[in-house]
Structures are given as C-alpha cells and as structure tokens.
Structure 1
C-alpha cells in the first residue's frame, strides 16, 4: 500500500475535491505541494498572498492554486478558487505522510490495563501507559511514551503524538490532535493561605475537550477545582499555552503561542487571542473578540471587536522618556481637573 507521501492526483480530482475551476489539462498529475519559489515539476503551488504575486511568473510548478483575479498571470495550468489558502489547507491532508497509515496495533512495550477499553484500529506506541477505566474509541493513535490516566475517554479518530499526558478523568472529543509534551488535566493552581503558609486545595474537577480540538506542544490545560475546565468544539490552541482551572473557551476560538488564561475566565465563541496575551481570572470575553499580541486584559470585554493594550516598540531612549511621562499622568490628570474647575468657577 502506498503512503500518502507517495500519492499523486490528477488536477481534475483535486478540482473536484475543493470545487475549484480548472484551467488546463484535467489529467495532469501532481504528487506534492510546494511554495511558488520551491515548487518543481510534479508539484502544485499556491498563491494566497498578493505579496508573493511577483514569484508567480517564474514558478516551475506543474500547476498553481490561485484566486481568479490572478489566473491570467499564471504561466501553467491552474485551479481557481475564491479562497486559495482554504483550498491549500484542504488539499494538504492528501499529502500528509501521517495520513492513511495502517494501524500498527498495540506495541509490546506498552502497558495497557485489562480494565481499559480499546476500539477498532487503535494504535498504541511503545512505552505508553493506559490505566483502568480508560475508553479509547475507534481509529485513535496514541504516540510512544504517552500516559492516559484512569477513567479518561478519547473520541474516535483522535491522535496523541509522542509523550502526551492525560491525567485521570479527562474527556477528549473526536478527531482531536494533541501534540508532544502537552499536559491535560494537571492540578489547577489552587491554594488557601493561613497567614503563614499555603494549604493546597484538592482539584476535584476534570477537563473536557470538544470535537476537532488541537493542542500544541508543551501546552497545559488544568483540571477544574470542582466543575470541569471546558474547551469547546473546533478550538485551536498553539504551543506553550497555559489554561488554568475552570476556564471555559467557546467553539472555534483560536489561541496563539504563550497565551496565559487565569482561572474561571470565560472566552466566547470565535475569539482570537494573539501571541503572549494574558487574561486575568474571573473575566468574560464576548463572542467574536480579538485580542492583539502581548496584550494584558484585566476587565471583562462584553462587545465583539479588536482590543489591544501596551505600547508598540520604539527606540530605548524614546521609551525611557515615555516611561517617565507615564509616571506623571496621574499628577497631570489632577492638575487638569483643578484647571477645569477653576475655569468653571471664574
């Protein structure tokens, strides 16, 4: 059986898959995807950003996926689509070497509890540990070295890459992708202070991930203190993201790298959080909120829109001057208030 990496498709087949308009030979075969500058014979390239239009005329690709507005400038057969980047995303799965690999079953070096339930065509890699009460649905892949704690459930078609850790009582929906080093269901940061030292609060909730969720490498999603931490359907989480206990994230939101969300904050549906964004605890973000990179959010946002905080980069000398002025703002505001009052009274 050929792997996905060796597969080839006719332009006619690809056009039908993404409902694109084909201009050229429908029987021309391509066996890979590449950028305009790197493509060679046998490759399908794509143009999704006008900044790269200058490379179109000289591409060596056998065919190009383009917007109809750029079709006439294409020197080779083409697939025309209103959203070529979306078309590229859908076609990329056809050439993924991990796709369509036959299941290799349970590796002899894996430890699987007899009280665990594994569905059909489940692959379990070397040195995995699967505890009692675990339920893994059909067509799942559990990468080498992964740990799945007691009473955890994993939905159909999900993939855990190597060295993923799922604590006890975690629920993962269908078609999830969890990348190496991510930890789902660790204890939330819950402590009570007696005036001298910290007393740990047992974290009694769990974590629920919806369908089609992706979690990047080395990201952490903490279990709830009482109820579950809940990640909605279609949520995409980048690498090195920290999600604290009892956070709720609505369907189809996306979090870029190094986002940090404090406990019990609720993020709406279709929200976008840029890299390094920090959300304080117990906040609410409405549906459709976009936070630009490195922003700190300390109050709830109840209307959709784009929000930012902080200052853009500048020379250090200019920043030092501004830092002094920032410290003077309170006094300036008080002086302005007095001046306005004096003007009213005069």
Structure 2
C-alpha cells in the first residue's frame, strides 16, 4: 500500500480506505497522524477512548476519526466508524514511514546462497545471510544482519527486522513480522542425565509459523524435539517471550511480555496470557482462556474463563504475617475437617 506521509491523502480517499462515513470536505489533504492534543491542520486524529473526549472541542486537526455518536461534538471534519480503534489501526499503517523506505533488491554486502529462491519484490538488507535451499516469497523483507538458515521458507509479504535469526527448516507464513533479536528454531532444552552429567538430545523437529503472526524483539521459539513447534495464524507474541519445543499456540491468541511456556504444552484459540505468565509443560489450555499477569499455571485448563494465581503486592509487614499463615493452611484445613466431623456427629 502506498505511504502517504509525504504526498498525503484526501479525506475522501481516507474514508474509502477505512470504510468510514465522511462529514466534511473530501478534497482536504492530510499528511500525518497525531493525537487530539498535538494534531495540526494537516493531520488526521482519532477518538477511541471516552477519557480523551475532553480534548475533542479544542483539536486543530483537519479531521477526526470517531464513533458516530460523537459526530455532532466534532469541531472539524469527521470520519465516523462503529469501531474507531480498529480504524486507528488502519490509519497507523497508512502513515507508517517504514513502508516509504522499502526498496526491493539485494544489498551488495548480503550473502545469498546460489540455491536460494527469491521471488519478485524481495528486499535483502546489508550483511544479511540467506543459506542454501531457502525460499523467500514475493515481497519478503529481510533486515540488516538477519540470518535465514538452510531450507527455511518465508511467506509472502513477511518482514524480518534487523538481526533476526531463523534457524534451518523453519516455515513462516504470509505477512508475518519478526522483530529484532528474535530467534526462531533454536534448540529446545532437551538433555538426558546419567546421574553425573548431562547429554544433549538432538532437536530434530522444526517450527511452523502461520499467517499474520507477529513476534516481538528478543523472543525465542524453539524447534521441536521430533515433531514441530506450531504457532497458528494471527498469533501475537510480545517481546522477551520464551516458547519451548513442541508447544502449539492456537489461532488469534496473544502473549504479553515475559511469558514462558514449557515444552509440549498446547494453548487453544483466542487465549490471552498476561505479562510474566508461566505455563508448565505437557498442559492443555482450552480455547478462550485468559490468564492474568504473573500467574503460574501448573495444571491443564478445560473451561474457558479468566484465571489468576499468586498474591498482589502489599505492605511488607502484612505480607510477612500472611506468609506465615500460608504455611499453616494445611494444618488449619485438617482442624476444620475434624471440627466439621465432630459437629455432624453431635
């Protein structure tokens, strides 16, 4: 999609791209996107949270993207949508300056094996390495310093930012975004112990990543021990997330920063794991589960819903008292059982 950050778009063009209703001059050209407070006369802005409604009356923007119920309050042209936050997401991509810098071609310092297959419109940045048997489909962008291992496949219109490492035998779907420092297909944590030392287990599987997946910076997705680690379509993974070997993440799930998932655990579709959540290995998490931040899950979850564990922060003196009581819970439970039994017998 063309980037309008320099040439601009008319409000009529924006309305068409967003599927929004325009109330105002369709020939007005906008060249930027800004907040309600900061927008100038050449910018478009948005109102998606009622907490910012107080800034609407004084905005200097050329147009405001908002819900139809706020059109009458808008002092300038309006682009109305039932879901203005979703419209904002589309606007942000239209005005993303990164797209304007994309230039297909292979940088002279890149190393591309002769057996690699590069489709039309591929861009390979400085010092990138493309190993033997790799396939890059149309429109793939490989950032500076990134490495794609032997026999891996990167799907159409996917982007690897700078210094991404994709090991051998990895498949990435269409329109994926892999951020800097992420590692896809490293060895899983597999060792056998003989009583005195550890012996490495070769990790013979791969990683399969679906379409429209995003992986944050410095996240790791390990290859399978035998079968593959699988990340289904439209999964969103934040920065500093660890996904161990043979994990399966279902479609449309989202994992916030510092989530850790141990080996062979299966997470269902439309799940959300908050920051710092840890999942033990060999678990099954059903569809539609939300786990709140810093929770530890040690058993499978078979019913959709919101799950939490741990205790929130409190005054240290109170926490120390409660920590003592936590240790007494088993004894208290036994005494309660005895009292209930005695009461029933009386």
TM-score range, shorter chain: over 0.9
Per the normalisation by structure 2, the TM-score is: 0.97
Residue equivalent to 2:161: 161
Residue equivalent to 1:36: 36
Q: Displacement of 1:129 after TM fit?
A: 1.1
2:239–2:256 CA contact under 8 A, matched in 1:
yes
User: For 1:46-86, what per-residue CA distance to the aligned partner results, in whole angstroms no more than 9, with x for missing partners?
Assistant: 11111111111121211111112222222111111111000
User: For 1:170-197, what per-residue CA distance to the aligned partner results, in whole angstroms no more than 9, with x for missing partners?
Assistant: 0011111100000000000011111111
**Alpha carbons of 1:8 and 1:104: their partners in 2 closer, same or farther (altered >3 Å)?**
same
Residue equivalent to 2:141: 141
- C-alpha separation in 2, matches of 1:82 and 1:4: 24
- C-alpha separation in 2, matches of 1:71 and 1:323: 54
1:4–1:99 CA contact under 8 A, matched in 2:
no
- C-alpha separation in 2, matches of 1:90 and 1:3: 12
Detail structure 1 runs of 4+ shifted over 4 Å in the superposition.
none
1:33–1:92 CA contact under 8 A, matched in 2:
yes
2:3–2:94 CA contact under 8 A, matched in 1:
no
- C-alpha separation in 2, matches of 1:101 and 1:307: 43
- C-alpha separation in 2, matches of 1:126 and 1:335: 70
User: For 1:276-321, what per-residue CA distance to the aligned partner results, in whole angstroms no more than 9, with x for missing partners?
Assistant: 1111111111111111111111111111111111122222222222
1:3–1:101 CA contact under 8 A, matched in 2:
no
- C-alpha separation in 2, matches of 1:310 and 1:53: 37
**Equivalent residues in 2 for 1:218-257 (5 A)?**
218-257=218-257
SS in 1 for 2:69: helix
Unaligned runs of 5+ in 1: none
2:4–2:31 CA contact under 8 A, matched in 1:
no
SS in 2 for 1:56: helix
2:30–2:43 CA contact under 8 A, matched in 1:
yes
- C-alpha separation in 1, matches of 2:43 and 2:317: 50
2:154–2:172 CA contact under 8 A, matched in 1:
yes
Residue equivalent to 1:315: 315
- C-alpha separation in 1, matches of 2:318 and 2:81: 47
2:220–2:240 CA contact under 8 A, matched in 1:
yes
Unaligned runs of 5+ in 2: none
